[in-house]
Amino acid sequence: MAGEAFFQSLDSLKLITGLKKTNIAGLLMNRDFEWISDTDKLFFAFFEACVAAGPTRCPLASSRFGNGTSDYANVTAKTLETSFYNFLETELKTNPVLVDPGANSTSKYPILLDYTTLKTALLNMLYSPSLWPRVAAALDGLLSSPRNLTAVRDVMQLLQIEPVTNENAHDAFIAIRASDKSPAVLSEIGSLDDFRPVMERVQATSKLAGDAVIWVLMQVARWEIPAKERYEGEFRNITTSHPVLILGNTYDPVTPLVSAFNLSEALEGSVVVQHDGYGVSCTALLL
């Protein structure tokens, strides 16, 4: 009966989920660090799930990658994480891998799998836990000797990672975000040296996502076209027509739980429901 009453009460509530940027002041000044505050926690959970599944179901948990010994019992999520970042920093960063796009690709050009591309791909895969087994197989193929790039190519196609050309490049994502920023950002950031403190803060916030998203803030900083409807008001003590129910996910790559609580502080009478799931926003409830 308690569950039934809960869902009946939703009729008089407004529902919000997938909160990325509730620090309005930080967003408008292009100082939005909150959105990737839980990324590394989720990425570590990916390794934990792999270890729990075992090498039969998750080849990435093999002793070769986990700890360099034949004793699988000593493989932990931490050894997997450490080995991955060691590969990323000491091998892929200076020796990127060319991946044939395959017959089903829309591009005829090979894909250069480098440091940034792999980080971006892994950030994207964290959105959907249903992809994790295939991504783990792809990482195992990448780390094998000789490499098995078939699994790598399949995942890159799944995540729609293609060589960037004039045909598939677009500005919509940057334009929406950048046109809302304060005009003061343009006067404050006129060079790379001006931007460096922001870059260092982003990289310190997330080891995985920091490098993958830094380009967003760099382009936003120099965007010169403002939005006519740019919000300039406050975001606190807001009274809504109905109480707001806010869903926050414990393990979320880009819409962290802290954003749900920050929004709740601004909306009077609102309530946060914490879902202990994996993935981005409410899609985690469906997977």
Domain boundaries, the chain: 2-22+235-286, 39-158, 165-221
Residue pair 61/54 in contact (Cβ under 8 Å)? The answer is yes
pLDDT digit string (tens) for the chain, length 287 residues = 334 443 344 444 455 555 554 555 555 566 778 889 999 999 999 999 999 998 888 988 875 554 444 456 678 999 999 989 999 999 999 999 988 877 666 667 788 889 988 998 899 889 989 889 989 988 888 887 788 888 888 777 776 665 554 454 567 778 888 888 888 887 788 888 988 998 999 999 999 999 888 888 888 888 888 888 877 777 788 898 989 998 888 999 998 999 889 889 889 999 999 988 899 876 655 55
Tokens linked to 282: 């409410």
Residue 28 CB-density burial (10 A; 0-12 exposed, 13-18 middle, 19+ buried): buried
Buried b (16+ CB within 10 A) or exposed e, 246-277: bbbbbbbbbbbbbbbbbbbeebeebebeebeb
Q: pTM for the full model?
A: 0.83
**Which tokens is 203 given?**
């990289």
Q: Are 60 and 137 in contact (CB under 8 A)?
A: yes
Q: Would you call 114 helix, strand, or coil by DSSP? A: coil
**Tens-place pLDDT, residues 148-206:** 888 888 777 776 665 554 454 567 778 888 888 888 887 788 888 988 998 999 999 99
Residue 135, CA distances (Å) to 6, 25, 126, 132, 167 in order: 37, 36, 10, 5, 27
Q: E strand or H helix at 271, and its extent?
A: strand 271-278
**Which residue's entry shows tokens 């991946």?**
99
Q: Residue 176's closest CA among 228, 214, 124, 227?
A: 227
Given the structure tokens 């709740």, which residue do they identify? 264
pLDDT tens-digit profile of 43-62?
999 999 999 998 888 988 87
Report the alpha-carbon distance of residue 186 to residue 195 in Å, rounded.
11
The single residue listed with the structure tokens 């922001």 is: 198
Question: 205 is written with which tokens?
Answer: 């916030």
CA angle 136, 143, 120 (to 5 degrees): 60
Other Cβ atoms less than 10 A from the Cβ of 14: the count is: 14
